[in-house]
Amino acid sequence: MIEFRGVTKKYPNGTVALKNINLKVMKGEFAFIIGSSGSGKSTLIKLILKEEDATEGEIHVNGYSVSTMGRKQVPYLRRSLGVVFQDFRLLPNKTVYENVAFGMQITEALPREIRRQVPMVLGLVGLSKKANVYPSQLSGGEQQRVALARALINKPALLVADEPTGNLDPETSWEIMKLLTEINHRGTTVLVATHEKTIVDAMKKRVIALDRGVMVRDEQKGIYEDESKDGQVHY
């Protein structure tokens, strides 16, 4: 599903964001990418979405060879993924319905298919009654649920979320995590970049920890912090 082989990302200003990352996320998994600010979480997500290019190494996502693909292929890769951002990135001039429908419109879906699918996904995230309101009229949690609905509308095999709870209060954050878990139970692979200790510790899912661009830990049913034998705290 996702494979990083010896991936390094160096920015033009000399900053090394990721160093020799080797990583495999299999179909149906739920994994957290954790680490403090500047650890390389967002860069990793950007490489998956081909927002940035790797300096070295190979990346494979959903059957696409991301490191070698041409520019024209990029939209196809992105459409095969569901993406959720910390700042929701909803289109402010479109209603909830239109925001979700947009994900299907770009895939040349037939209008009748869109009319059938959108209410279904809105129902899944509990926003059926808010279909005709604009994002500015929704709370943060509701906006993130719209973003989730948009990410799910094309039934992606892989959902990538970059700090999905970063702008939400704890209670709403849990609602979103519950939704992500439910989505994962339906067969979608979920990869979440976060630094929410409480959530990571409570969910007991796979944890991939980054520290200053280096992968320091990859544990099944991991927790946020790891006190190793030397007494130091590792992410």
Q: Which residues have a Cβ under 8 Å from the Cβ of 60 and sit 6 or more positions away?
A: 2, 3, 5, 66
Q: Does 157 bind another protein (CB under 8 A)?
A: no
Does position 111 bind another protein by CB under 8 A? Answer: yes
CB of 152 to another protein, least distance (A): 12
Q: How far is the CB of 102 from another protein (least distance, A)?
A: 7
Contact 224, 217 (CB under 8 A): no
Q: Which amino acid is at 120?
A: M
**Cα–Cα dist 94/178, whole Å:** 26
Query: Does residue 102 belong to the site contacting another protein (CB under 8 A)?
Result: yes
The binder of another protein chosen from 10, 19, 79, 212 (CB under 8 A): 79
The one-letter code for the residue type at 205 is K
CB closer to another protein, 82 vs 222 = 82
Residue 41 touching another protein (CB under 8 A): no
Shortest Cβ 91–another protein spacing (Å): 6
Which range touches another protein (CB under 8 A), out of 16-24, 27-35, 60-68, 106-114? Answer: 106-114
Does position 11 interact with another protein (CB under 8 A)? The reply is no
Q: Which of 152, 190, 155 is nearest to 48 (CA)?
A: 190
How buried is 68 (Cβ within 10 angstroms: 0-12 exposed, 13-18 middle, 19+ buried)? exposed
The residue from 14, 63, 70, 92 that contacts another protein (CB under 8 A) is 92
